[in-house]
A = this chain, B = another copy of it.
Amino acid sequence: MKTITLLTDFGLKDPYVGVMKGVMLSINPDARIVDITHEVEPQDVTEGCFLIKESYPFFSKGSIHLCIIDPTVGSDRRAIVLEHDGHLFVGPDNGLFSLTVDKRSRAYQIENKRYMLKEVSDTFHGRNIFAPVAAHLSLGLDPAVLGRKVDDPVLLPGLHPSTKGHTLTGKVVRFDRFGNVLSNISIESFNRFVKGRPFQIRLHDMRFETLYRSYFEDPYTCVVGSSGNLEFGLFGGNLAQDKSIKKGDAVTVTPLRR
């Protein structure tokens, strides 16, 4: 029984997610379908990148991840299937898989109409193209049958932190329900830069010279969160609101001379 996960910005008020499940179960009645989230901020492809990276490794190899944040549905952007790290990803080729692609990944364009529903409009590729393709993949379809190989999947710029002089500069990429603030600085990037030296992390007027293990330890904290990245929290409160933090705000790390 193959698992198909869903990650979209479709929300849950519309029937769109349920309809995609109906399409998939009509093709593979034994598919096990798991929602990751449908509340990605509408059309925020960057947020989607980080959510995919944060969630897929907790599913078994061989899982199929249907990911749709697709502001230009109906344009000539390609639809792709990506093989990466033993998982399959299905969705629009608009940069959504920027953090789940590397030199060993293989990608194919979805062109073979045999595995699509007949389309009445170009507004819902999730139902007409992506869902049926994911269901066929869960039945063992070889991705290479879907279309030509893609050697240049779209990659979004600016997703990784950068080093300039004595500063590692990242940014805020998302907020969670509790108002915790997630950055794009992974613990690996952080360690590579800091090399065990004393450090100072800055976000707005906050300064941290230590990493906490949990949000419980102080009112304002900086932890290596469950995402594996630097996260910031306010115990018993909503940090994003408290400090009016916006996506894209700078998070910096500098070595400290003591």
Contacts and interface: CB of A to CB of B under 8 A. Distances in A.
A18 B121 contact: no
Contact of A13 (B1, B29, B176): B176
Contacts of A22: 3, 5, 34, 55, 58-60, 63
Contacts of A256: none
Report how many copies the assembly holds: 3
Contact of A55 (B1, B15, B33, B37): B15
Contacts of A120: 187, 224, 226, 228
Please report whether the interface of chain A is mostly helix, strand, loop or mixed according to DSSP: loop
A21 B75 CA distance: 34
A124 interface: yes
Given A19-B55, A121-B214, A122-B213, 14 more contacts: A3-B25, A9-B177, A10-B177, A12-B12, A12-B37, A13-B177, A15-B51, A16-B176, A22-B60, A33-B34, A71-B236, A74-B213, A74-B217, A120-B187
Interface of A: 1, 3, 5, 7, 9-19, 21-23, 25-26, 29, 32-40, 42-43, 51, 54-55, 58-60, 63, 71-75, 120-124, 127-128, 176-178, 187, 213-217, 223-226, 228, 231, 236
